[in-house]
Structure formats: C-alpha cells, structure tokens
Chains A and B, each alone.
Chain A
Amino acid sequence: MRTIRQPGKPARPRVLSVAASSGGELRIVVPEGTDLLNGLARALTGAGVASAAVFLNGGRFARMQYLTGQPCRDGKRVATYGAPTTLVGPVTLLSGNAFLGIDEMGKSIVHCHAVVVDRDGAVHGGHLPPGVCTVGPGGVVALAAALADAALAVRYDAETNYPIFHPMALGAAHKVAA
C-alpha cells in the first residue's frame, strides 16, 4: 500500500472517534428549485439538529456541479480540487453520503459526495459544493441520523493543511482515541 507524505507532521491519534446516542431519524425531501446542500442544512437545523449522518437516497437535479480531486502541484497539500464539472439536467442522483456539522464560525455546513447519471447516461461523481446543485422535479430524498450528544466540528488540520470535520463529544459522551 502506497502512503503519501503530508505537508504537516503526522498527528496522533490516527483514528478519532466518539460514541453518540441517536438524536432521532429524519426523512427529508429537498424540493425542486432548492439548492441541495443549503436545503439540507436548513431542514436539519430547522428540526433542531446540529450534526447528522446523511444518506442521499436519490432524486433529481435540474443543474449541478461537482469537483474531483487531483494531485496538488504547489506542495502546500497533497491533493486539491480541479475545475468544477457542470451538468445540466435532468441529472439523476443515484446515491450519496453527507454529514451536517458546524464550521469554525459556528455556522452549519454540509460535506457531501455523490454519484449521478447525466441525461445521456454517463455516470459521474464527486464533491458537491454548496450553492450550485439545484434540485429538480420530484426532489431529493435524504435519510438523516441525528446525533444527540456528539458533533462534527470543522477544525484546521495542520497535517493536511485543510479545515476538516472532527468528531467531538458533547456533555457526557465518551471520547475514545483508537
């Protein structure tokens, strides 16, 4: 297995995890005309949820963009995003995974990757940025597992030189370093 040298020193522990109890299960339909990531964040925070694990169960986009990773040439990071690919609908969302958490300013943020098929049958996929993925007819269905006593919080990671979601225990939750 090839490993890669990151710009910063390896941080420890190598695996971070917290045990949380369920904050309930939610089924969300993000409606046509709404931006997917912003719509998901609004729906979940409106339901009192600050952090959640989300499964995208499918739907349609009227228009969307995605990013894919590539080697970073300037040495500041090992990988970065390339230019966005824009798909004009109807684009079918096959599946996706996402997390709702909190950024460094305390604002809700969604990190989402998904796989889609375009109007010509080609399969695409990547990182979905906020503000550029407009839901199409029929909406997008998301199944969210809310977290009651744990959170995903963005923290700057010196090892990779990226702001990254980290699991955080809230209240009595027990933090475990593997």
Chain B
Amino acid sequence: MTARRKQAAHRPAAARKAAPAPKKTKPRARKIGAVKPAAVLVPPAAPYTLNEDRPGTLATLVERGRYGRMILARVRPNIDLVAGVERVCASHGITYAVVRSAVGSLVDAALGYGEGDSLTLITVEGPGIEILTLNGEVRPDETGKPVATLRGTISDSDASVYGGEFVRGGNPICITLEIALQEWLPDLQSSPVAS
C-alpha cells in the first residue's frame, strides 16, 4: 500500500465523492517501509526519568526558562532543512531554540512516522513541495552541538498533504526557507521538576 492509498482510505466517503483526488499518471510518493530509526531520524535526547512514586510510569520533566533572541534566517536552495536549522543556531551560538514560524519549499521531501518496527519513511518527489507547517525545537546533544527535531506538513503539486518528522539529509530546500527561531534559555540552576 502506498502512502497515497493509505491517506485516501482515511478520507470520509462524502469527501471522496465531493472532492476526488486529482488524477495522476504516476505516484509521486513512495513508502519505503520499515527503516532503522538511527538511520533516518535523530534520536531525541532522553527527556524522561523513571518516576519512583509511580512505578512503571515515566516522570514529566518541567524545565523552567525564558525566551531569548529571535533569529530571522533565510536558507538557500539545496541545503538540507534539518542541517540548515542547526547551522543557523550554531552560527549564533544557540543550542536551545524553538521554531516560531517557517515558510518555504523543498526539492523533495522525506518524512518519517511511526516508531520501532512500524517506523516508516515516505518520500515525496518535487520540485516545488510546499512546507505548510513546521514545528519543532533545537536541543544540544551530548557534545553541546545543536540538534533540530522538526515535524510538520507538506503539499505536493497535486495538493496532496503529508505529515511527519522531517528526516535529516532528505529535505533539500528548493527556492527558499524563511524561518524564525527563538532562543530558549533554560534555567540550568534549577533541577527538573517531576510531576
């Protein structure tokens, strides 16, 4: 089953009748199937610790902090989306940041969804794929290097919409990426609060 067929199967019957997907000669999205997580997705820094008060559950970490500088950037064509965001942050010495807004396009797109054995990668061929929404944050890895985790939605030339986590090395910018990243300044003096 391709990603496109899967998406259509979730569409209400009324919608399929009223707004049929445009016909196309060949599928532009390709579902690769299960992939090794480490190969395509950035493993998130471990944000959880065991909650001793509730055995078997995970503690919710609450990090106090405040917002700092706003970084306004343009990433030019053929730079990878994830690497480009990290490059913007590194150039300003920022290791913690959140995406405040982003508008742009991709040559091709690679999105991941699911986890473990069901982790799936879809690729959508462009050029001219629109980034509709982009959410995510930047956190330092164990060496202090900024690492971006970005999720969002895209549309292809047939106006089909896809969503997932943007895969590192799979999302080259097409025309431009305009992005606003705001620095997050965690209060590193305070211990995380488990709730």
Q: Judge if A63 is at the interface, Cβ distance under 8 Å.
A: no
Contact B133 A97 (CB under 8 A): yes
Q: Judge if B31 is at the interface, Cβ distance under 8 Å.
A: no
Q: Judge if B185 is at the interface, Cβ distance under 8 Å.
A: no
In the complex the two chains form, what is the Cα distance from A166 to B53 in whole Å?
Answer: 51
User: With a CB–CB cut-off of 8 A, which chain B residues contact A90?
Assistant: none
User: With a CB–CB cut-off of 8 A, which chain B residues contact A1?
Assistant: 80, 108, 169-172
User: With a CB–CB cut-off of 8 A, which chain A residues contact B4?
Assistant: none
Q: How large is the interface on B (under 10, 10 to 19, 20 to 34, 35 or more residues)?
A: 35 or more
Q: A69-B174, A96-B132 are in contact. Are A178 and B100 (CB under 8 A)?
A: no
Contact B72 A147 (CB under 8 A): yes
How many whole Å from B169's CB to the nearest CB in chain A? 5
Q: Judge if A28 is at the interface, Cβ distance under 8 Å.
A: no
Q: How large is the interface on A (under 10, 10 to 19, 20 to 34, 35 or more residues)?
A: 35 or more
Contact A113 B133 (CB under 8 A): yes
Q: Judge if B42 is at the interface, Cβ distance under 8 Å.
A: no
Q: Which residue in B17, B72, B134, B155 is a CB contact (below 8 Å) of A150? A: B72
| Chain B residue nearest in CB terms to A17 | B73
How many whole Å from B129's CB to the nearest CB in chain A? 6
Contact A71 B103 (CB under 8 A): no
Q: Judge if B11 is at the interface, Cβ distance under 8 Å.
A: yes
Q: Judge if B159 is at the interface, Cβ distance under 8 Å.
A: yes
Q: Judge if B149 is at the interface, Cβ distance under 8 Å.
A: no
Q: Judge if B157 is at the interface, Cβ distance under 8 Å.
A: yes
| Chain A residue nearest in CB terms to B22 | A85
In the complex the two chains form, what is the Cα distance from A175 to B40 in whole Å?
Answer: 33
Q: Which residue in A10, A78, A115, A147 is a CB contact (below 8 Å) of B76? A: A10
| Chain B residue nearest in CB terms to A115 | B132
Q: Map CB proximity to A onto B115-144 as digits: 1 under 8 Å, 0 otherwise.
A: 000000000001111111110000000000
Q: Judge if B112 is at the interface, Cβ distance under 8 Å.
A: no
Q: Which residue in B70, B108, B157 is a CB contact (below 8 Å) of A145? A: B70
User: With a CB–CB cut-off of 8 A, which chain B residues contact A145?
Assistant: 70, 100-101, 180, 182
Q: Judge if B37 is at the interface, Cβ distance under 8 Å.
A: no
Q: Which residue in B17, B70, B80, B132 is a CB contact (below 8 Å) of A19? A: B70
Contact B76 A15 (CB under 8 A): yes
A10-33 interface (Cβ within 8 A of B): 10-11, 14-22
In the complex the two chains form, what is the Cα distance from A176 to B74 in whole Å?
Answer: 11
Q: A69-B126, A98-B101 are in contact. Are A122 and B69 (CB under 8 A)?
A: no
- A interface residues with partner B (beta carbon < 8 Å): 1-4, 6, 10-11, 14-22, 51, 53-55, 66, 68-72, 77-80, 82, 85, 95-99, 111-115, 118-127, 145, 147, 150, 152, 157, 159-160, 162, 164-167, 176-178
- B interface residues with partner A (beta carbon < 8 Å): 11-12, 14-15, 17-19, 67, 69-80, 84, 87-88, 90-92, 100-103, 105, 107-108, 126-134, 153, 155-159, 161, 169-172, 174-176, 178, 180, 182
> Can you list 16 A-B pairs with a CB-CB distance of less than 8 A?
A1-B172, A3-B78, A51-B72, A68-B158, A69-B105, A69-B130, A71-B126, A97-B101, A113-B131, A122-B19, A124-B161, A126-B132, A126-B159, A150-B72, A162-B176, A178-B90
